[in-house]
Structure 1
Amino acid sequence: MGGNMAKMMKQVQKMQADMAKMQEELANRTVESTAGGGVVRVVANGRQEIVSVEIKPEAVDPEDVEMLQDLVLTAVNEALKLAQDMMTKEMGKLTGGLNIPGLF
Protein backbone atom coordinates (compact mmCIF):
# COMPACT_ATOMS: atom_id res chain seq x y z
CA MET A 1 0.00 0.00 0.00
CA GLY A 2 2.81 2.45 0.91
CA GLY A 3 4.49 1.87 -2.45
CA ASN A 4 1.38 2.92 -4.35
CA MET A 5 1.08 6.09 -2.28
CA ALA A 6 4.72 7.01 -2.94
CA LYS A 7 4.21 6.36 -6.65
CA MET A 8 1.08 8.51 -6.69
CA MET A 9 2.87 11.35 -4.86
CA LYS A 10 5.68 11.23 -7.44
CA GLN A 11 3.11 11.48 -10.23
CA VAL A 12 1.44 14.45 -8.53
CA GLN A 13 4.82 16.18 -8.08
CA LYS A 14 5.67 15.60 -11.74
CA MET A 15 2.29 16.99 -12.81
CA GLN A 16 2.85 20.07 -10.62
CA ALA A 17 6.29 20.61 -12.16
CA ASP A 18 4.90 20.13 -15.67
CA MET A 19 2.09 22.59 -14.95
CA ALA A 20 4.49 25.22 -13.58
CA LYS A 21 6.61 24.85 -16.72
CA MET A 22 3.50 25.07 -18.93
CA GLN A 23 2.31 28.23 -17.15
CA GLU A 24 5.72 29.80 -17.71
CA GLU A 25 5.62 28.90 -21.41
CA LEU A 26 2.06 30.20 -21.76
CA ALA A 27 3.08 33.50 -20.17
CA ASN A 28 5.28 34.03 -23.23
CA ARG A 29 2.60 33.06 -25.73
CA THR A 30 0.14 35.65 -26.95
CA VAL A 31 -3.31 35.85 -28.46
CA GLU A 32 -4.70 38.70 -30.50
CA SER A 33 -8.14 40.20 -30.87
CA THR A 34 -9.41 42.95 -33.13
CA ALA A 35 -12.54 45.07 -33.27
CA GLY A 36 -14.04 47.49 -35.77
CA GLY A 37 -12.63 45.64 -38.76
CA GLY A 38 -9.12 45.79 -37.36
CA VAL A 39 -8.92 49.45 -36.34
CA VAL A 40 -8.41 48.34 -32.72
CA ARG A 41 -6.03 45.46 -31.97
CA VAL A 42 -5.31 44.02 -28.51
CA VAL A 43 -2.69 41.42 -27.61
CA ALA A 44 -2.81 39.43 -24.35
CA ASN A 45 -0.43 36.85 -22.93
CA GLY A 46 -1.08 33.54 -21.21
CA ARG A 47 -1.11 35.30 -17.84
CA GLN A 48 -4.16 37.17 -19.08
CA GLU A 49 -2.28 40.44 -19.14
CA ILE A 50 -2.81 42.94 -21.93
CA VAL A 51 0.61 43.41 -23.53
CA SER A 52 -0.31 45.83 -26.32
CA VAL A 53 -3.14 47.95 -27.67
CA GLU A 54 -3.04 49.43 -31.15
CA ILE A 55 -5.55 52.00 -32.34
CA LYS A 56 -5.43 53.10 -35.96
CA PRO A 57 -5.93 56.83 -36.54
CA GLU A 58 -9.15 56.27 -38.48
CA ALA A 59 -10.72 54.83 -35.30
CA VAL A 60 -10.33 58.17 -33.54
CA ASP A 61 -13.37 60.37 -34.10
CA PRO A 62 -13.52 63.26 -31.61
CA GLU A 63 -17.27 63.42 -32.23
CA ASP A 64 -17.75 59.75 -31.26
CA VAL A 65 -15.38 58.82 -28.43
CA GLU A 66 -17.96 56.32 -27.14
CA MET A 67 -17.52 54.20 -30.27
CA LEU A 68 -13.76 53.98 -29.73
CA GLN A 69 -14.27 53.09 -26.08
CA ASP A 70 -16.66 50.29 -27.09
CA LEU A 71 -14.19 48.96 -29.68
CA VAL A 72 -11.36 48.90 -27.13
CA LEU A 73 -13.56 47.24 -24.53
CA THR A 74 -14.71 44.59 -27.02
CA ALA A 75 -11.16 43.83 -28.18
CA VAL A 76 -9.79 43.67 -24.60
CA ASN A 77 -12.54 41.34 -23.37
CA GLU A 78 -12.11 39.05 -26.38
CA ALA A 79 -8.31 38.96 -25.95
CA LEU A 80 -8.71 38.01 -22.28
CA LYS A 81 -11.21 35.29 -23.19
CA LEU A 82 -8.83 33.92 -25.83
CA ALA A 83 -5.98 33.93 -23.29
CA GLN A 84 -8.14 32.04 -20.78
CA ASP A 85 -9.20 29.52 -23.44
CA MET A 86 -5.55 28.98 -24.42
CA MET A 87 -4.58 28.36 -20.78
CA THR A 88 -7.50 25.99 -20.16
CA LYS A 89 -6.80 24.01 -23.34
CA GLU A 90 -3.07 23.63 -22.67
CA MET A 91 -3.51 22.78 -18.99
CA GLY A 92 -6.20 20.28 -19.95
CA LYS A 93 -3.56 18.39 -21.93
CA LEU A 94 -1.57 17.94 -18.72
CA THR A 95 -4.45 17.06 -16.43
CA GLY A 96 -6.16 14.75 -18.91
CA GLY A 97 -9.20 16.99 -18.87
CA LEU A 98 -9.62 16.86 -15.09
CA ASN A 99 -10.80 20.15 -13.70
CA ILE A 100 -8.72 20.62 -10.56
CA PRO A 101 -10.15 23.51 -8.51
CA GLY A 102 -7.75 26.34 -7.77
CA LEU A 103 -5.19 25.19 -10.32
CA PHE A 104 -5.79 27.81 -13.00
Structure 2
Amino acid sequence: MFGGGNMNGMMKQMQKMQKDMQSDQAALEATEFVGVAPDDMVKLTFTGDRKLHDVVIDEKIVDPDDVDTLQDMVLVAINDAMKKIDDTTASTTNGKYTKGLSF
Protein backbone atom coordinates (compact mmCIF):
# COMPACT_ATOMS: atom_id res chain seq x y z
CA MET A 1 0.00 0.00 0.00
CA PHE A 2 2.70 2.48 1.01
CA GLY A 3 5.48 1.08 -1.17
CA GLY A 4 7.37 -0.90 1.49
CA GLY A 5 10.20 -1.65 -0.92
CA ASN A 6 10.76 2.05 -1.46
CA MET A 7 10.83 2.63 2.31
CA ASN A 8 13.41 -0.15 2.76
CA GLY A 9 15.56 1.41 0.04
CA MET A 10 15.31 4.80 1.71
CA MET A 11 16.27 3.30 5.09
CA LYS A 12 19.32 1.64 3.53
CA GLN A 13 20.34 4.94 1.93
CA MET A 14 19.96 6.73 5.26
CA GLN A 15 22.05 4.09 7.04
CA LYS A 16 24.76 4.39 4.38
CA MET A 17 24.69 8.19 4.67
CA GLN A 18 25.01 7.95 8.46
CA LYS A 19 27.98 5.58 8.13
CA ASP A 20 29.61 7.89 5.56
CA MET A 21 29.08 10.90 7.83
CA GLN A 22 30.69 9.10 10.75
CA SER A 23 33.63 8.12 8.57
CA ASP A 24 34.05 11.68 7.29
CA GLN A 25 33.84 13.05 10.84
CA ALA A 26 36.51 10.64 12.09
CA ALA A 27 38.80 11.58 9.19
CA LEU A 28 38.24 15.27 9.88
CA GLU A 29 39.02 14.85 13.56
CA ALA A 30 42.32 13.15 12.68
CA THR A 31 43.33 15.85 10.18
CA GLU A 32 45.95 18.34 11.34
CA PHE A 33 45.46 22.06 10.82
CA VAL A 34 48.32 24.50 11.29
CA GLY A 35 47.47 28.04 12.29
CA VAL A 36 50.19 30.56 11.63
CA ALA A 37 50.92 34.13 12.57
CA PRO A 38 52.62 36.54 10.14
CA ASP A 39 56.08 35.43 8.99
CA ASP A 40 55.46 32.02 10.62
CA MET A 41 56.60 33.45 13.96
CA VAL A 42 54.03 31.30 15.76
CA LYS A 43 52.68 27.97 14.48
CA LEU A 44 50.00 26.01 16.29
CA THR A 45 48.88 22.55 15.23
CA PHE A 46 45.34 21.46 16.01
CA THR A 47 43.39 18.41 14.96
CA GLY A 48 39.90 18.71 13.51
CA ASP A 49 38.42 18.02 16.93
CA ARG A 50 39.98 21.35 18.01
CA LYS A 51 42.67 19.85 20.25
CA LEU A 52 45.99 21.65 20.37
CA HIS A 53 48.88 19.28 19.64
CA ASP A 54 51.91 21.46 19.01
CA VAL A 55 53.15 24.99 19.59
CA VAL A 56 56.19 26.38 17.79
CA ILE A 57 57.36 29.89 18.62
CA ASP A 58 60.26 31.41 16.71
CA GLU A 59 62.84 32.60 19.23
CA LYS A 60 63.13 35.92 17.37
CA ILE A 61 59.67 36.89 18.57
CA VAL A 62 60.44 36.20 22.24
CA ASP A 63 61.19 39.54 23.84
CA PRO A 64 60.63 39.82 27.60
CA ASP A 65 59.96 43.52 27.16
CA ASP A 66 57.24 42.93 24.54
CA VAL A 67 55.04 40.09 25.72
CA ASP A 68 52.01 41.73 24.08
CA THR A 69 53.33 41.01 20.58
CA LEU A 70 53.81 37.33 21.39
CA GLN A 71 50.31 37.12 22.82
CA ASP A 72 48.88 38.77 19.71
CA MET A 73 50.75 36.34 17.46
CA VAL A 74 49.41 33.36 19.41
CA LEU A 75 45.85 34.68 19.05
CA VAL A 76 46.31 35.20 15.30
CA ALA A 77 47.62 31.64 14.90
CA ILE A 78 44.75 30.17 16.95
CA ASN A 79 42.13 32.04 14.93
CA ASP A 80 43.82 31.00 11.69
CA ALA A 81 43.70 27.32 12.68
CA MET A 82 40.07 27.53 13.85
CA LYS A 83 39.04 29.13 10.55
CA LYS A 84 40.76 26.34 8.62
CA ILE A 85 38.96 23.73 10.71
CA ASP A 86 35.59 25.47 10.25
CA ASP A 87 36.08 25.87 6.49
CA THR A 88 37.11 22.24 6.05
CA THR A 89 34.24 21.02 8.23
CA ALA A 90 31.75 23.04 6.22
CA SER A 91 33.00 21.76 2.88
CA THR A 92 33.54 18.17 4.02
CA THR A 93 30.43 17.37 5.97
CA ASN A 94 27.80 20.08 6.08
CA GLY A 95 27.44 20.80 2.38
CA LYS A 96 27.97 17.21 1.33
CA TYR A 97 25.04 15.82 3.29
CA THR A 98 22.60 18.71 3.15
CA LYS A 99 23.00 19.61 -0.53
CA GLY A 100 19.64 19.59 -2.25
CA LEU A 101 17.64 19.28 0.96
CA SER A 102 15.09 21.90 1.78
CA PHE A 103 13.87 22.47 5.31
Bucket of the pairwise TM-score, normalised by the shorter protein: 0.7 to 0.9
TM-score where L is the length of structure 2: 0.84
- Corresponding residue for residue 59 of structure 2: 57
C-alpha separation in 1, matches of 2:37 and 2:52: 15
C-alpha separation in 1, matches of 2:88 and 2:100: 16
CA deviation after TM superposition for structure 1 residue 3, in Å? 2.0
Find the structure with the greater CA-based Rg. 2
Q: Which runs of 5+ in 1 are unaligned?
A: 100-104
The alignment-based identity, stated in percent, is 36
C-alpha separation in 2, matches of 1:37 and 1:28: 26
Is 1:35 equivalent to 2:37 in the alignment? yes
- Corresponding residue for residue 78 of structure 2: 76
C-alpha separation in 1, matches of 2:90 and 2:81: 14
Q: Alignment length, in residue pairs?
A: 100
Moved over 4 A (4+): none
- Corresponding residue for residue 9 of structure 1: 11
- Corresponding residue for residue 25 of structure 2: 23
TM-score where L is the length of structure 1: 0.83
- Corresponding residue for residue 49 of structure 2: 47
C-alpha separation in 1, matches of 2:79 and 2:51: 11
C-alpha separation in 1, matches of 2:54 and 2:99: 31
